[in-house]
Amino acid sequence: MKELRSIWWSRGSVVIIDQRLLPKKLKYLRIRTAKEMAKAIKDMAIRGAPAIGVAAAMGLALTAYRCKARNREVFLKRLRRSAEILRATRPTAVNLFWAIERIMKIAEESETVEEIRKNVINEALKMAEEDVETNKKLGRNGAKLIKDGDKILTHCNAGALATVGYGTVLGVIRAAVEQGKSIMVYACETRPKLQGARLTVWELMRDGIKVKLITDNMAAFLMQRGEIDKVIVGADRIIAKTGHVINKIGTLSHAIAAKFYNIPFYIAAPFSSIDFEHNLDEIVIEERDPREVLYVGKERIAPKGTEVWNPAFDITPPELISGIITERGVYRPEELKELSSGAGGRGE
């Protein structure tokens, strides 16, 4: 089967899988402007930290492709405006800001309108290709930690759909399976938006990898029964200064339970998910619409007037994390502060 891609450039527009409709429908959305891309990110038609990074870069590429301005300053102004709209979509994942910065730097450094256009589009396409390569390296680094027969718990979707392709957590699992290891995945459904049930199960079944679905609150009981050998989850932002990991709501709960039962708890994320700049208290944890909790599809689950708290992410402290699997190697959380985004790092 063809390798799954979540996003690609197609003749002056960008095509994404509309992940809100999975697994019921595999439908593609054609996106023509940065504004449309911003909406797709905000509404979570595309989601996952690495994927929204590339989506934002592609959003800027769309502006570069369409902008008719001939004056360099006007052209840059349009790009800056698009960057602003894209930055305002989701506050927590660092990849979004990293990607926009990377593209805007290229743009500002280019000399003519034609060069800006060409360089921005090329850089966005390059980032998409890099993402897949990064994940394959990350996958190989992670697969070394995986034993034949391992039962692995994961949360949310850190798969091909959360990246451009191959995935981070699911990249590790795919690499282990490609090495001939027999792996069983327990996918937590991941309330409220059910990315585990809808996306992770779908991706793994598509690849013929063994997967069983549980509700999030069953994970600790599986661990108690000795059914989980490792937990691997993604990251939306890793704070290098302290080693805290911000990831999909529910991650913390699994990390605490894994610690209680002495089960290794790994993060799998590209280097671009590491924030070398901010302190934890500077990060905004996105709170989303209460209706995400109150409804599953069209089914309302609680009385009218119910008050809801709906944070999209939580924070896992470094003492609960066994290792952070990246394309450059596997790090302990406390090692990150000694690195920098430019450093070569270890491993591959």
Q: Which residues are catalytic?
A: 236
Q: How far is the CB of 21 from its own copies (least distance, A)?
A: 12
Q: Does residue number 213 form part of the binding site for its own copies (CB under 8 A)?
A: yes
CB 158 within 8 A of CB 254: no
Strands 323-326, 329-331: pairing kind: antiparallel
CB 244 within 8 A of CB 317: yes
Q: Does residue number 190 form part of the binding site for its own copies (CB under 8 A)?
A: yes
How many chain residues interact with its own copies (CB under 8 A)? 54
Q: 69 or 214: whose CB is closer to its own copies? A: 214
Q: Does residue number 297 form part of the binding site for its own copies (CB under 8 A)?
A: yes
Q: Does residue number 28 form part of the binding site for its own copies (CB under 8 A)?
A: no
Assign residue 136 a region (left: φ > 0; alpha: ψ between -120 and 50; beta: otherwise).
alpha
Q: Does residue number 246 form part of the binding site for its own copies (CB under 8 A)?
A: no
Instruction: List the x/- string, 217-236, binding to its own copies by CB under 8 A.
Output: xxxxxx-x------------
DSSP result, 55-113: HHHHHHHHHHHH----SHHHHHHHHHHHHHHHHTS-SS-HHHHHHHHHHHHHHHH--SH
Q: 65 or 202: whose CB is closer to its own copies? A: 202
CB 13 within 8 A of CB 32: yes
Q: How far is the CB of 217 from its own copies (least distance, A)?
A: 3
Which residue of 99, 239, 252, 269 would you call a contact of its own copies, by CB under 8 A? 252
Q: Two tokens at 89?
A: 């979509």
Secondary structure of 177-207 as H, E, C letters: HHCCCCCEEEEECCCCCCHHHHHHHHHHHHC
Q: Does residue number 250 form part of the binding site for its own copies (CB under 8 A)?
A: yes
Q: Does residue number 302 form part of the binding site for its own copies (CB under 8 A)?
A: yes
Q: Does residue number 309 form part of the binding site for its own copies (CB under 8 A)?
A: yes
Q: 296 or 343: whose CB is closer to its own copies? A: 296
SS3 of residue 334 by DSSP = helix
CB 163 within 8 A of CB 132: yes
Residues in the chain: 348
Q: Which stretch binds its own copies (CB under 8 A): 75-83, 134-142, 164-172, 190-198?
A: 190-198
Task: List residues binding its own copies (CB under 8 A).
Answer: 23-24, 186, 188-192, 194, 197-198, 201-202, 205, 211-222, 224, 249-250, 252-253, 256-257, 259-260, 293-294, 296-303, 305-311, 314-315
